[in-house]
């Protein structure tokens, strides 16, 4: 069985308050994009390993142990409650890590969905979201995989009517790691005067001046290379460009396909997609 977890971007991000538990309340829109990993899942028929699973990861890998991989965490979570056989997972990572694109969370959520389908566990979306929430705040988003307004710590989802179908997305990630903890530490929480859904309901041409990512000021100050990418996307004709989450990826929306992308952003991860 092969399945294809997709990435998401954050459109707008407001850090609205610091909580007593040390976390921050935020407002952001999660939007799924058609940049996908590929995961092959098979039942292990012979030479069963002592740990009960096999994992192979290729592509844009981050390293770490199999026990730390969210695919394995999702598998072990379901296996603790259901009679699931030993499984092997071959993961090919197209989605870059440390990019603010939710690649690891997507892999985990899609693994939950795949195991539920293959072994007919009968889990509802709500059931799967409950399991996914154990693995990460944004992980449940990928169960339904539709645009939402996320509040709380990014774990409370509200449906939103937003379609960017036909828009051309250009996604760029430099070889820069941004600490999410540092990004939060350097932001002063404030509640916006208008909600993101209100702003996003307006023509996309207005977003440049109204739809902001609160992390950008401090991150751009520390990593001017990321700021330069956003500026370049606007120079190339983007109707809207922003950093996704706490970075380090930056995306731009264009009305037409963009030429000379690889030459312009040589040495960076760059992908262009027409949104579906």
- Total residue count of the chain as it appears in this document: 276
Name, in order, each residue with C-beta under 8 angstroms of 126's C-beta and a sequence gap of 6 or more: none
Six-digit token pair at 49?
């390993």
Q: Is residue 21 annotated as part of the catalytic site, yes or no?
A: no
Residue from 37, 107, 138, 214 carrying the catalytic annotation? 138
Q: Which residue, chain included where needed, has tokens 């909580």? A: 19
Which CB contacts under 8 angstroms, 24+ apart, belong to 116-124? 116/78, 118/1, 118/41, 119/82, 119/84, 121/78, 121/82
Running DSSP on this structure, what letter comes out for residue 40?
E
Question: Where is 262: in which H helix or E strand?
Answer: helix 261-264
Q: Residues 84, 86, 92, 98: is their CA dihedral positive or negative?
A: positive
Residue from 8, 93, 113, 173 carrying the catalytic annotation? 8
Q: Is residue 8 annotated as part of the catalytic site, yes or no?
A: yes
- Which residues are the active-site residues? 8, 138
């Amino acid at each position: 069985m092969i399945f294809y977890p997709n990435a998401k971007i954050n459109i707008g991000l407001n850090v609205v308050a610091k909580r007593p538990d040390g976390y921050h309340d935020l407002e952001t829109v999660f939007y799924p994009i058609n940049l996908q990993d590929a995961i092959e899942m098979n039942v292990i028929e012979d030479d069963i390993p002592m740990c009960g699973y096999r994992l192979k990861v290729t592509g844009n890998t981050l390293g770490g142990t199999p026990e730390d991989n969210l695919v394995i965490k999702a598998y072990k979570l379901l296996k603790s409650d259901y009679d699931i056989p030993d499984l092997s997972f071959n993961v090919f990572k197209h989605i870059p890590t440390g990019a603010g694109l939710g690649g690891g969370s997507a892999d985990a959520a899609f693994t939950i969905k795949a195991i539920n389908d293959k072994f007919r566990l009968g889990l509802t979306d709500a059931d799967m979201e409950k399991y996914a929430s154990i693995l990460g705040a944004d992980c449940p988003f990928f169960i339904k995989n539709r645009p939402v307004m996320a509040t709380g710590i990014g774990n409370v989802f509200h449906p939103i009517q937003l379609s960017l179908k036909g828009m051309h997305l250009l996604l760029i990630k430099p070889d820069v790691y941004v600490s999410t903890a540092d990004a939060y530490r350097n932001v002063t929480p404030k509640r916006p005067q208008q909600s993101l859904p209100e702003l996003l309901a307006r023509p996309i041409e207005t977003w440049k001046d109204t739809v902001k990512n609160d992390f950008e000021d401090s991150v751009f100050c520390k990593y001017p290379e990321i700021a330069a990418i956003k500026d370049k996307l606007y120079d190339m004709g983007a109707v809207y460009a922003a950093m996704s989450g706490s970075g380090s990826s930056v995306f731009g929306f264009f009305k037409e396909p963009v030429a000379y992308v690889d030459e312009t952003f040589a040495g960076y991860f760059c992908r262009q997609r027409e949104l579906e």
